[in-house]
Structure 1
Amino acid sequence: MQSRLLQIASVLAAVFVSLVQGPPIPAEGETNVWPVRLLINILGYATLVVPAALLIKYLKKINYKEKGSGICFPVVKTCVFGDEVGEHKTTDQPAPLNITTREPSTFVSGIKLAFCAVGLQVSYLTWGVIQERIMTIEYGKTDDTPGEKFGNSQFLVFVNRSLAFIVAGLYIAFTRQPRHGCPLHKFSYSSISNIMSSWFQYEALKYVSFPTQVLGKACKVIPVMLMGKVVSGNTYEFYEWATAGMLSVGISLFLLSQGQSGKHAAHDAIDITNDAAGVVLSGFILMVGYMAFDSFTSNWQGQLFKTYKMSSFQMMFGVNLFSCLFTSVSLLEQGGFFQAFAFMASHLDFAMHSVILSICSAVGQLFIFYTISEFGPVIFTIIMTTRQALAILLSCLIYGHPVSAIGGLGILVVFFSLFLRIYARTRKTALAKQQKPIPSPNKV
């Protein structure tokens, strides 16, 4: 009996140690199935989501908004029910009517546009190069010693979201923001989908080449349209569906020319199977997962913007707040922080790359908001579409990804359809403005 108890105790101790230390980082050649990692992450998020969902349901059932009281009531009300915008009326006086605003000169506008374009290109091109370096190249590899890859994608998501959360918080603390009244828990929906889309994006680089991933991002307009029709009931013009079809043709040509999805995926990735078919299948599923979650994120955030009239920085703060919370809890449960910090201690260049990745992500988001506010979404889309083309070129030059003639044709089709889409949308907007009736001067 005593020996039996000792065996049970040893098993429980082993389980406890494994929970504290987290799953071991697989050595080169070991099987490390990404669906298992995905399931573990989801279970980690569920430890927060499920109790919170039950609590919110209970508070609404007992009508806590009307009956609640105490020190915690304002916090609970903000998180579950939201604030009443009417309770926070501003005392700002309207600007005098005789004050006129001067339009900036063409030279000043050109300088601002160049500043935005260079900022976006530098931020996200650097981010792309560092992202591919972290996920596809071994650290510490020499002629005498084998290297090791960093495999914890969730930690990279946490690092990026943490800095973005700090930047958004500082901006909100020192600037005047609108009162939107959105319940805080509604940010968690897009936070979860944003975490998942980023995780799928990082994991996909283990199985597909970076140019393939960039083209997949360029084609995410297709799932965005489908998700918009399902979530928001949006309708789309013929040119939007036509250019979406061209995007599908272009990405198909590129993927067919790739064969084994790039040299890194074919030879270095740890996957379900060692054959090329398994690599391609995993890469395809991960890219579809990325586009699906990212499509939901943009549509859900669009609904919140439309309903509650919040600022972009308030959205950035709320989403990244929950992202930091979810990822930190999951990493603590899995022991991911211990693994990541141990990897940093062994490879200081990885620590530097992680910091640069986070800075580029946060600075890039600031440039996004500034560019859209100054020049509108069309100019921003043109800049970012150009960035995608430059990212593919830069990746091929630095990491040596081969692109065949058919693959090059696919890339041209993709970006031609993107610019055609921008042109058609701009032309439609201009025609709508021309057809808008001019009010009669006799009418008050």
Structure 2
Amino acid sequence: MTDGLHQPSLRRLWPLWTVLVVVVLLLGCGLPTLLLFGVVREADGRPTIDRIEASATDDPATAVARRLGDRMAAQLQRQSAALLGGDRAGFLTVADPAAHADLRRRFGALRALQVTVWRAEPSGLPTPVLGKPGEWRLPVRFQYCFAVRDCRPSPVLIGTRWRENGDQPRLLALEESKSAETGTRPWEISELVVATGRRTIVATTPALRGKLPGLLAQAEAAAKVADGYVAAGSPPDRYRIFYAGRAEWRSWYGGGRPQWTGGYAVTVGGGHHEVVLNADGLASGAADDLLRHELTHAASLPERGYPGKSTWWLVEGLAEYAGADGQPVDRYEGMAEVRRLVRGGWDGRLDGVTPADNAPAERVGASYGVGYLAVRHLVDRYGPQRVLTFFKGVVHERRTLDVAAEQAFGEQWSTLHDECVAYVRAAAG
């Protein structure tokens, strides 16, 4: 290195960043009526229809929109049943031929992901597209499950465009969700190949197909570790993992991650977190602790995310502890970075250790290392279950650190904080 600094390992060059967002479910508030129409598969494979109708006295324009919305809902019902039944021709038949290429790709990706629940629920009434007579736009709330039938579905709001066509309006396009909270999901925009194990689903692009067997084996091993870090409720029914090439990293879930990001977990609703790994520059041997880290986020975090930057050290420290998987402290990859931070005048505050988005890789590695060491000290002293109780109190129940520490450890947090910091300093030498 020309600057004379220690060269961080690949693991530290690509630390782990978790995106925790809550999907906002828009349900057409304030509209005079709402029609919800969806399809799920029962255990015997038969589709059933979810339908909720509310009516009111309509003006002529609203009455027209309502009738058209009913017909669109019926088309969505047919399309949903076709998707769940593996009928690609039926999935396409409701759409204009110009939309078929996109729909074929979506159908293939969703089937590869083993979609088991697919509900299409129109959100409000259709509205005309300005300047295009006969065309309409309808927001639709899709809900989905992968691989298991009894999961809580994950929702996504997607705009749809239609053309009037008598009793059977034609679907012109499914827009990308582009949610400000979550971003576009991989199956909306990419062709996917998928491997499924007992606890995980791993998906990537055809160009990276050769990575799937190894990734699945690593993911299944990581899932066994992550299952031990459930702070509340049950382990995820399946851990959902997407392995992104360079282009996909910039587009899946909105892209735009800090340069130091090697992976992240994003909450998509229904109690699910979907994990993304950055394939660019990530050696296969570096994926094990990355997967343990990110799947631990999926197992330990609440659907609505964590309280804020002041608890970042705890959230990331627990995931780093799981990622280290019992290795000795002196073998932790970020120790050199922690040492430089401590010797460089660190103020000794855990709540201020969160790295900035534009922080250099060395500073990021040090931040993760401080979180790891603090959590390591708590586990060594009190055991993993009491630490998970503390984590649940802070992250899930939004209790103050003082209250959570008293309940979990019977100690004042100010005392424990100072002990954690002393441990960090001692470990850094």
Q: TM-score band, normalised by the shorter chain?
A: under 0.3
TM-score computed with the length of structure 1 as normaliser: 0.20
Highest relative contact order (Cα 8 Å, sep 6+), 1 or 2? 1
Question: Structure 2 length as normaliser, TM-score?
Answer: 0.20
Bigger helix share: 1
Give 1 or 2: higher strand fraction.
2
